[in-house]
Amino acid sequence: MDRITKVFSKLFFEGICSLGIFILFTFFIQSKLLACSPGSFHADGNKNKKAIALTFDDGPGESSLKVLELLDHYQVKATFFMNGDQVELRPELAKEVLKRGHEIGDHTYSHINFYAYEKKFGLEKTKLKVKEEIQKSRDLIVQATGKSPELCRMPHGYHRAWMKEIAKEFNICLVNWTFGKDWLKISEDRLSKEYLQNLKPGAILLFHDGGRHREKTLNLLPLIIEEAKKRDFSIITVNQILEP
């Protein structure tokens, strides 16, 4: 092999190695951005997964046990975003959610509408109140379950760019949702059609187990779960659906 051929061979080999390292590095960065890392924000899961995540807000409430029984019946796991004031009222129910293998996220203490709060009190007071609400709820969840939440969903889907820094402070990631309407005064037929239209890879579906009068949600869940299984979707937790 002459000298020129050796040089070209060496350059080719080094180029292939560099390309491989670049591809691995890019994959690593993308994985970190997608996974539930502290400070990250997500409204969808991994769209390359044929899976959905069922999430429940505002509990633990009067309907939580019925939701748990339905999930047990279908052998699926879900994620529950709990309000601290409700955990304070029903600590044993919060503990039961975790005991049955489900995931718990923070939904702040008292479910303040921070869009309205920010408009009334300004940015700095809002930041302080957000921290206070997350911390208070977090403490009560830990007290009830022994586990600190890794996820947080702000009431009304509140999100601002600066929220990511607060999330980093609390070592949590922020999660909104792909679709959810079970609190609206619309017919069960229309509601079921719209949820079924949103059975897509990576979808994070929002329901409510807190508050009263969740009959529509309880009627809707078997339909959604059965149809998802019929379409060969896995039903997994939020942390799982965010994984690469």
What is the SS3 assignment for 167? helix
Is residue 103 within 8 Å of residue 151, measured between CB atoms? yes
The question of whether 42 is a catalytic residue gets the answer no
Nearest to 79 by CA among 97, 99, 61: 97
Compute the distance between CA of residue 52 and CA of residue 4 in angstroms, rounded to an integer.
Answer: 56
- The DSSP bridge partners found for residue 54 are 205
What spatial distance separates the first Cα and last Cα of the chain, rounded to whole Å?
45
Cα atoms in the Cβ-side hemisphere of radius 13 Å centred on 34: 18
- 213 is annotated as an active-site residue: no
Which residue is catalytic, options 44, 57, 106, 182?
A: 57
Residue that has been written with the tokens 């709990």 in this structure? 82
**Catalytic residue selected from 58, 106, 208, 209:** 208
Kindly write down the DSSP assignment for every residue of 81-136, as one continuous string.
EE-HHHHHH-HHHHHHHHHTT-EEEE--SS---HHHHHHHH-HHHHHHHHHHHHHH
43 φ/ψ sector (left φ>0, alpha ψ -120 to 50, else beta) = alpha
Active site residues: 57, 208
